[in-house]
Structure 1
Amino acid sequence: MLRVFRVLLLVCLSFGLFHSSVSAASFRDVPFDHWAHDEIRFLTDKKVIRGYDSNQFKPLVTLTRKDAAVMITRAMKLPAVSNPKVKPSDLRPTMAGYKEMMIIANKGMVTLQKNKFQPNSPLTRKEMARMLAVAYDYKGKKTSTFKDVSKSHPYYPYIDALSENDITSGYKDGTFKPDVSVNRAQFSTFLSRVYDQPHHYIVKRKGQTIHKGRSVEEAIALAVKYDDATVHPVSNSLMTYANQPAKMSGTGIHNGVLIYNGAEAPQQGSEFFAPYLKNNEKNLFDTFIFLGRTYTGGEFAETPKNNANYKEWNWYIDRTFDPSGSLSSLNKAVAEAGRTVQIYLSIPYPKSKGTIVKLNGAKEAATLQARENMVKWYIQTVQSRWNKAGYKNMKLVGYYWLNETVINANDELLVTKTAQNVHVNKKKFIYAPHSLSTNFDNWKYYGFDGAYLQPNAFRLHLKDPEARLHKAFLEAQINGSGITLEIDTYSPHQMAAGLPNFERYIEFAHKYQLVGQSLLFYQGTDMIHRMANYRQSPYEEAYQKLTSLF
């Protein structure tokens, strides 16, 4: 009986059947800065791979052909083969993984030697290439060049297909190393890359699909040709995509507007906010996000000019809660409009280099812990000041992360800790990543309750604004986020050129069904006020276009 138990234990361990329900972030041997952390976490959360009973993942353990069969059939959710034409002589129905191995053998995903599957043999890189290329129908263009894989190599078509589809680029020395074995971390990375992006994209006009293909560039190029075309991701076995930007119901935001209140903008009176709240009898923005980008002599974002210490952060808090400042003025304007609104207040980016100086003059290195403490102090101080202010017409619902990207492992940990701190205080946490932001697809893992992608297509004289907008709305669908609509603070001589850009944003908002979902609105420092108050046709037209969103 003991021998049977040991055999069963070995089988279970080889497939990771004894596993924790936690994600990769909790595996003892896959720390946050592990090179394959995100990929392992993704596949673990999707229940494609599992850890061991010791709360380890064992990333360096060599993957067998049997293990690979189990993983890929889980990922693709492939059904059992009812009438197999291929019957490897070394497989038996009583074997662990028999069903999965029979599936991939009959789909031609593996090479059989003398009709043997060799379940316990290591999976090599060339066999992995064949498995993924056949499974996902990847095609190459015979353009890849690896020093150790000639075009006459029997596995070249599969390796070329993975290279063409950005699943692998080989080693830095220009080799592919086709006969090297693959470990659990490596296979997790390759398989995860398959699901980094949708496998297919469709282009629609008036609800009808006019194109379906693998190339996102091809889909966007086609959509740009038609005023009524939209681009959408196609769901697959692991990923389900929406066909419009997300509602972001966790944020409570339907229509939010960004209000700058750092040194870059003057303090505003209550009359400033009137056109943000109502147009005739129509209610407009329900959420106001206050953010300070600069202080005297520096910036609060992640830039070389960020040398902000507790003194500068405290200055910004004082400015925000100034009784004659913009926040107090908004409270008065909201009362005059007979409304209530939600408020998000920004959290500056704590500098990552040099020394942090506290209010009492004490100094400490800008370590991750010191930065976490700075953010925690800020949230506690803001919460206290909000409570003392006693605003009757506004509710503080959350915080806005000022930085527009999460660029390294330390910042990943910082943002995750900040999210936990925000949530402990029963508040929401959002951000608005720019169009080239790194790690945007991980926003939910970091603990954000909402993300609002910036298309960054509002600059004058761009060559491809339509393509940028299609790409942003597509990314919002893929990553389940909202969108930030944008217009700059155009002067009168810029407005004639700026209006078509803004109209394009509004058109995209309507055709991608953003209206009624959840959006943020970037308006420079005061563009909506200008729209409503400058008596010039382009400004008036822009304001009317804006109000069509509500």
Structure 2
Amino acid sequence: MKKYFTSLLTIVLMLSLLPVAKAETEYPPYNDPIPFKDMQGGHGASWDIMFLYKKGIIGGYPDGTFRPNEPITRAQASAMLLKALDIPVQENPTVTFKDVSRQSTHYRTLATINELGIMRGENGFMRPAEQTTRAQMAAILRRAFDLPLEQKPMFRDVSPAHWAFGDINSAALNRIAGGYQNGTFKPGNPVTRAQFSSFLARAIDDKMKLPDPISYVSQKGIVVEEDGFQYTIKGEKLVKINKKTKEETILLTEGDFPTQDGLFEVHLETGFPIIIQNGMIYVPYWAAVSQGTDMPYRYGVFQTNTQGGNDHIKYWDLNEWDASHSASMRNFSVHGFDYYYTVEKKVRQFDYNPTFDDSVNVDQTLILYHKNPSIVDPIKVMEFDARVIFERLEGSTRFSTNVTQNNKSVKFDPSTMFYFNKNGVFSYSLLDGKTKKLSSIQAKDMTLTDATVEIIDVNGKKHSLKK
């Protein structure tokens, strides 16, 4: 059988299988010249600024400038919001701020926005001249326009532990704020006057909104939940379970995959991990298994969507790129349009060495590779040592091999790879390429939470490390 290999560019194009609404991208037809002399040459936010200017929501400075790249202050953002919401300022507010006198031109505006609960001070300080961050902007706009908090993760650098997690996801899902090309939101960055104008214009008018958002965060595990459904593999079936009704739908069976003469492949088995992102399912599978020992000796990844059907199966077979990779591909992970995996530097043939289990407790040099649609071949990122301990294949009864190809000693969150070896526990940032030693603990198992790395050491003692 000839497998139909697709490059990652094709994988990205597969996102077209998702039901995506057509975004409104036509802006109001402004023919008037922009009135600000420092924007005569054009600016990326010109349409948004003109939209707000014509509504009387924003203006420039007395010298005729708008200063689009200047960070917006809390006082400026408050004034714009009240005008956008058509809320009059209180005539005789009574609130007292330690850093804003009643004689200040900003006092009534800040008192009104505080009373509405859109923007509040802390310990009596309103901080009117303080710059507004992107996270604060998301929270302010969500409250101002009464949008729901959203728990669906959208950005690689905003974890559920972040104070504005629900606000930022809400701003993204409501097409008010987008992220950067690497899938980050950069919540601590200051918001410029131009950026805030764009965010506010999108919140006011659907015609100004961004296209439908894409999440850069994948969900992974033996059982994965997304949008009210659970996804898992039961025996030789990939199933989708409605969490409310408990109705179970079979998306794929092993019989949906064509066979190849002389090659025993296992695409679906209880305990195989799955990865879901933006309606796409990725499953690392055994591309070749010895029928004498049940040992896998070649690996691949197949992809389908959450609607199922064998006409949607696509293969991501490492053997198409480099035959040496297919024998030891480990720890496949999806991050937006970026894909990471590791291979063993010195490939071992487990088919002839029945030690593919927890009894192996030595370090092995792994190579981290990265692939995305903009590059033809996988890029070698780094080499590192990790303990040779494999994840259990929980629940499988068909095979004597009781582990997946994933290492317990390597874990990914949306922005970081964590690993341990004989020297301790380490983190490697996928965003800036920096390695950090977290501890000298000799580990034998590792799990990740939103804010911590949970370690079990070789003596069975538990440790919690801050990410």
Higher-helix-fraction structure: 1
Higher-strand-fraction structure: 2
Q: Please report the TM-score for the alignment, with normalisation by the length of structure 2.
A: 0.36
